[in-house]
Amino acid sequence: MTVIPTEPESPAQRFTRRQLIYQGAVLAAALGVAPGILAACGGTTGTTAAAASGSASPGGDISGTISFFSWQGYDLIDIPAMKSWCKENGVVVKSTYINMGDDITAKFTTGGGKGVYNLSTYFQGYGPFYASLNIPTPLDLSRVPNFKKAYPFFQTGPSAENWWLIKGKQLCTPFTWGLMGLNYDSEKTKAPTSYLDLLQPQYKNKVGIVDDVIAAMVIGAHIKGIFRTDSLYTPAQADQILSYWYELKKNARTIIPSYGNMADQFVSGEIIVGVPGWAAVNSFAAGKGDKSVMHTLPQEGAGAFVDGYMIPPEASGVDTVYAWINQAFDPKVQAQTAEYLVQGAVIPEAVPLMSAEAQKLYPYDQIADILTKSAPLEAIPFVVPDGYANWEYWNKAWTTFKAS
Amino acid sequence: MSAPAVTTSASVPLGVRRSAKTRRRLTIFLLLAPAVAIVGGALIVPALNLLVQSFVRSLGYGQLSYHFTLSNYTSALADPLYRTLALRSFGLGAVTAVCCLLLAYPVSFYVSFRLKRGRNLALYLVVLSLFSSYLVRLYAWYTVLGTDGMINGVLKSLGIIHEPLSFLLFNRFAVLIAFVNIFLPFSILMITSAMQNIPREVLDSAHDLGAGPVRTFTRVVLPLTMTGLIGAFAYTFILTSGDYITPALLGGATASTALANTVTNEFLSQGNPPAGAAISFVMLAVFFIVYALLGQLERFKGI
Amino acid sequence: MKRRRKFQFPWLLIFTVAVFVFLFAPVLLVVLFSFNKTAALTFPFHGFSLQWYRKVLSSPTFVSAIFASLKVGIVTVLLTVTIGTLAALGVTRYSFPGRRALRTLLLLPAALPGLFMGTALLTFFLVAHVQLSLFTATVGHLVYVLPYFFLVASTRLDRFDFLLEESARDLGAGPWSTLWRVTLPIIGPSLIAGALVAFSLSWDEVMITYFTIGNQNTLPLVIYSTVKQSIDPSVNAVSTLLLAGSLIFLIGARRFIADLQT
């Protein structure tokens, strides 16, 4: 930048110091700086009332802040029974939402989340891997008495020992479960009965594919008939599974970054079907005025999942967290949660509290069968024997798919 | 022309001169230390740390193997996925930068030389658009380009189309438009600033000497504003190539993954900082090469 | 001597207006839909309502994000102006070996993408066992914003006649007095313009913040995560509020920006 010589300023052009400060003050006031500075000095966030951070005082005071890091919806902030409990007890929930399950793993290892968040969840497939990375803080079940009312399937037995009660330590308390099929707009199409229906020309440029590699892997495996619960697929089989998705991409409008975003795409009419699907998307879309989004399980099969609350490493304010988790298993809260997320509850007493439609959605009398036989829970292939595709391979392959 | 103003007189006794010299050195040090500390501590040192990590192999989610390896770099350079993404990201960055220049140049020229009373207002408006939130401006393109969006709505109501145009959104085109919209104000400001340095008289002389508009442009205006052009191009190119947000939201099935997204993924989803670091440094290398090439263009500046 | 020009079709004017329309149309749409009666963000527009503004101002998420952005922004600007002005004085007032290199060094962060600085800082904080928080985010903002302010300040000081300082010193003023009463008032407008630039950069920053912040959210982060998840006109309402704030800001700062342009 060339510099042009200038004459020295004339007195008329100079600012006096007073003017300078005055102008600065005007600007500061315009910004409303005062509360900001006060807040910075005081160190409080100044949001909802009755938010006192810190651990429990001797009087059994459990008020505090929950720093939640997981899927949108799992923080229960829209569940009336939970909202009123939080208000009564001075509990504030601050949430950061994720887009992929891996975000949780990364956050509490290389993502700088240790000590920052004190509540999270994990999808059961991650259990053994998390244990090896020492991510979950082992839970003291005596502080979550409501969990004892859960279906036995979630408390003990081979499934529990596989996913949640690993090597004698309770790493998470499962609180919800569901099946992942596909979502569709009932006003614009009939419910597809097969994933292969989506390849038809009528859906050209109207399909949304969610960026969820786990669900894609499971659903793809079901479609190709090679599904395994240990998720051990050779690279050739992995490519076979992905071939469905490559085929589907030709009909795809967009790759959707999150399930919440899928609701937006339905509402704005960009897509008519979305896969992998999540029933909660129906609620998200309904919340925006579009009540026609539905979820269905095509004939090839669905991905099953169980999600549970876990306490991340180096968490603080743990008393508040335990009280909150315990409240999450209160039958009323469970019933409302199940209805909102359109997923299954884990507390039997919650089922009669649900609406009739919600009760029929999931076969509560056959949970064990469903989750072990017809829509079995699957592992995530983190550590695999030679010759099989491991997690890195899957992620690479999926990224290549997205970029193609 | 910056004249350092501190001088010492030869007639001052030696002892005083020496302490004046030390005081001067101390002053310089104190003035510069905080800024250097910030840049050193918050950029240089972390960058070096990242560089070291790029030569180490990750065993997954935080565990590092502490053996020197080039595998992160070889996979960053050799993997066809990264090459595709690199071409896509840098290509889009270059196209964006060029579009910004093409749009900004006439506007800057008009604002600098044709506008008199409206000039401050025009520049003020440009700065105002800079102050608008990046993300919000990005998201607004859904409303403009979407299936039920403004363009489709207008075309439909005019009867020009019956089915909404679907190629407007969720592809490279949408990402390009959003990028240009976001970075155009920068380009306008930078080029206008460069044009401010051309005295009006120079243009008038060229006109008087018989130069047509094209000649005036290529022989006078362009060389004198070359620095501004280069700055605008470099800034736009680097920021769009390294942007992971716009592609993810507007790119759709074909363009939602940029090279920058893979870096973000490695850190926040794959738990593989070394791999992310290697890709970052390869990107940096490309940027520096571009800087160097642009620096060569500076030879064409000046009269 | 002015020459009469024959009438020329105002191509440039039309082009410029078109470009300005292109620049502002999306923003105006955002403002428009912030008043939408329904939750849709696409046409048709359903009528006016203030419900989204009410929702935003009563939502703890948004309100705490606004405060977080303010906290980070104000601290960043205060530090930037202090450190940046001192540094600008250092490189313009004095001549010493390595001066040019130092100037380049201080401008370096402006040449790097936010992604790189964010990931570098994140990994560094982890290695140094520093927990992520608003503080770490502020560090990121500081190193990002400093070169821009430094550029403004040092450019202004390049044109500053240091003989004025010398005269003041000759007349008996001490170094601080000179700075406070002579130099700063003269370069004041540029410094304020630089401070405004610094604040606006920090206010809108998302790429570095994404990597370096703890469990809080700044306003851009809230918007980013909301857009990725699910969005309603609340975000439009927030942005309109932001725009209104910026307008007030800029109106007050108009005079300083003129100084910057000359």
Neighbours of A194 (CB within 10 A): 12
Measured CA to CA in angstroms, residue B86 lies from A257, A403, B95, B257 at distances of: 21, 11, 14, 10
Estimate to the nearest angstrom the gap between the alpha carbon of A398 and the chain centroid.
Answer: 20
Q: What is the CA radius of gyration of chain C?
A: 23
**Chain B residues within an 8 Å CB radius of C90:** 27-28, 31-32, 35
State what percent of residues in chain A have pLDDT above 90: 34
Task: Encode A297-319: b = buried (16+ Cβ within 10 Å), e = exposed.
Answer: bbebbbbbbbbbbbbbbebbbbb
Residue C28 inside a domain? The answer is no
The residues in C 48-107 lying below 8 A from A, measured between CB atoms, are 60-61, 63-64, 67-68, 70-71, 74-75
pLDDT digits (tens, 9 = 90+) for C163-216: 888 888 888 888 888 888 888 888 888 888 888 878 888 888 888 998 999 888
Structure tokens at C199: 């604040």
C173 in a domain, yes or no? yes
- pLDDT (tens digit, 9 = 90+) per residue, A66-100? 999 998 789 998 899 999 999 999 999 988 888 77
For residue B301, name the pLDDT band (cuts at 50, 70, 90).
low
Task: For residue A184, give the 3-state DSSP assignment.
Answer: strand
* C90 within domain boundaries: yes
| Domain assignment present for C29 | no
**Inter-chain touch A110–B257, beta carbons under 8 Å:** no
Substitution target from B268, B298, B301 for chain A, most A beta carbons within 10 A: B268
Q: Report whether the peptide linkage leading into residue A276 is cis, meaning its omega lies within 30 degrees of zero.
A: yes
3-state secondary structure B99-149: HHHHHHHHHHHHHHHHCCCCHHHHHHHHHHHHHCCHHHHHHHHHHHHCCCC
Average pLDDT over residues A321-329: 95
C 10-69 residues inside an 8 A Cβ radius of B: 12-13, 15-16, 19-20, 22-27, 29-30, 33, 41-44
pLDDT in tens, A355-400: 887 887 788 888 887 787 767 788 888 778 888 888 888 888 988 8
Average predicted confidence (pLDDT) for chain C: 83
Range scoring the smallest mean pLDDT among A145-149, C32-36, C139-143: C32-36
C70·A116 Cβ contact <8 A: no
Question: Residue A404 contacts by C-beta under 8 Å, 6 or more apart in sequence?
Answer: A246, A249, B254
- What integer pLDDT is reported at residue B19 of this predicted model? 84
C187 touching B, CB under 8 A?
A: no
d(CA A311, CA A134): 11
In a domain, C247, yes or no: yes
Of A104 and C229, which is predicted with more confidence?
A104
Domain ranges of chain B: 14-53, 72-299
Interface with chain B: mutation pick from A104, A270, A393, highest number of B CBs within 10 Å: A270
CB contact under 8 A, C108 and B39: yes
DSSP-based three-state secondary structure for A119:
strand
Interface of C with B in 104-123 (CB under 8 A): 105-106, 108-109, 111-117, 119-123
Distance, CA of B3 to CA of C148 (rounded, Å): 23
Could you please report the per-residue DSSP string of A221-262?
HHHHT---TT----HHHHHHHHHHHHHHHTTEEEEES-HHHH
Nearest to B194 by CA among B172, B222, B166, B213: B222
pTM as predicted: 0.79
Cα A375 from Cα A366, distance rounded (Å) = 11
B38 vs C143: CB contact, 8 Å cut-off? yes
Percent of chain C past pLDDT 70, that is, above it, reads 84
Instruction: Give the nearest partner residue to C24 out of B39, B129, B287, using CB atoms.
Output: B129
SS3 C97: coil
pLDDT at B142 > cutoff 60: yes
Chains with ≥3 Cβ pairs under 8 A against A? B, C
Q: Tens digits of per-residue pLDDT, A140-192?
A: 999 999 999 999 999 988 888 888 998 889 999 999 998 888 999 999 999 99
Residue of A99, A116, A260 lying closest to C215 (CB–CB): A116
Hey, which bits of chain C come out as E strands? none
CB neighbour burial string for C34-68, b if at least 16 within 10 angstroms, e if fewer: bbbebbbbbbeeeeeeeebbeebeeebbbbbbbbb
Which residues of B are less than 8 Å from C12 in CB distance? Answer: 106, 109-110, 114
A254 with B271: Cβ contact below 8 A: no
In chain A, the N- to C-terminal Cα span, in Å, equals 43
C40 lies in some domain? no
Can you give the CATH number for the domain in which C220 is found? 1.10.3720.10
| Entry field: residues in chain A | 404
Q: Which helix (H) or strand (E) holds A307?
A: strand A303-310
Instruction: Provide the residue range defining the domain that includes C235.
Output: 48-261
* Residue from B262, B252, B296 nearest B282 by CA: B262
Q: Is the pLDDT of residue A2 over 60?
A: no
Of C9, C16, C3, C45, give the one whose Cα is nearest residue C233: C45
Instruction: Indicate yes or no: CB of B283 within 8 angstroms of CB of C113.
Output: yes
Are the Cβ atoms of A30 and C39 closer than 8 angstroms?
no
pLDDT category of residue B283 using cuts at 50, 70 and 90: very high
- Enter the CATH code of domain B72-299: 1.10.3720.10
More confident: B148 or B129: B129
- Give C-chain residues touching A30 at CB under 8 angstroms: 245, 248-249, 252
CA torsion sign for A339, A344, A350, A355 is positive
Question: Which of A6, A18, A22, A23 is the best substitution to test chain C (most C C-beta atoms within 10 A)?
Answer: A23
The C-alpha atoms of residue A38 and residue B71 are separated, in whole angstroms, by 51
Any domain includes C127: yes
Task: Note whether A133 contacts B253, CB cutoff 8 Å.
Answer: no
The single residue listed with the structure tokens 């391979």 is A393
CB contact under 8 A, B253 and A109: no
Cα separation of the two ends of chain B = 19
- C-beta atoms of A17 and C180 within 8 A: yes
Separation CA A301–CA A147 (nearest Å): 30
Tens digits of per-residue pLDDT, C100-135? Answer: 999 999 998 988 888 999 999 999 998 898 889 999
Angle at C29 between CA B91 and CA B180, to 5 degrees: 15
| Distance (Å) from the alpha carbon of A397 to chain C's nearest alpha carbon | 23
Q: Exposed/middle/buried for C261, CB within 10 Å: 0-12, 13-18, 19+?
A: middle
Q: Residue C75: which pLDDT band, with cuts at 50, 70 and 90?
A: very high
Chain C interface mutation, best of B1, B27, B29, B31, highest count of C Cβ atoms under 10 Å: B31
Residue C58 covered by a domain:
yes
Quick check: helix, strand or coil at residue C127?
Answer: helix
Number of domains in chain C: 1
Distance from CA of B268 to the nearest CA of A (A): 5
What tens digit of pLDDT does each residue of C162-177 get?
Answer: 888 888 888 888 888 8
Would you tell me which residues 168-227 of chain C have a C-beta closer than 8 angstroms to some C-beta of chain A? 180-181, 184-186, 188-189, 192, 196, 211-212, 214-217, 225, 227
Q: Per the structure block, which two tokens stand in for C60?
A: 């703890």
Domains and CATH numbers, chain A: 11-176+306-354 (3.40.190.10), 179-303+378-403 (3.40.190.10)
User: Lowest-pLDDT range, A105-119, B81-95, C44-58?
Assistant: C44-58
pLDDT in tens, B187-239: 999 899 888 877 778 778 877 887 777 777 777 778 778 888 888 999 899 99
Q: How far apart are CA A156 and CA A163, in angstroms?
A: 11
